[in-house]
Amino acid sequence: MKTMFALMIALVSLAANADGFPEPGLYKVTGNISSKEMPMMARTTETEQCIKENQFIDNPEGWMQQQPGQECDIVSYDVADGSISMEMNCTLDQGGTATMQGSGTYTTTTFQLKNRMNIDSGGMKMQIETDVKGERQGSC
């Protein structure tokens, strides 16, 4: 799950690096994870991430292939007019698949993305919901 959370932050940073979107800089990123099937995995995490201009825009698929434990394909990724919408499918190294759908908003100094992941692995199906928020703290 840590890998999927890192992937979501990176997808948000795709939006944060194009002209007219959140400014590059240091962002405080807060993520809430929950699952009805596995309530013990519910948690809130806080990290800081330096989002650089054009960090992932040129090749998001290439970035995702570098994530350990998964191979993902972007089905759709639309960022415009303060809104983010995305969908992707992943094959997990330990066996199984995951699909993720997300939507959110952004301003010049903030972003928010809500995601729903459906995981089918080892005969177990579960849904994980995440809420990721970022707020610019200053320069990197």
Per-residue pLDDT of the chain (140 residues; tens, 9 = 90+): 444 555 555 555 555 455 557 788 999 989 999 998 888 888 999 989 887 776 544 445 544 444 566 678 888 877 778 888 888 898 888 889 989 898 988 888 888 989 898 999 888 899 999 998 999 999 98
Question: CB of 90 within 8 A of CB of 61?
Answer: no
Task: Pull the structure tokens for residue 116.
Answer: 């729903």
CA distance 77 to 94: 26
3-state secondary structure of 75: strand
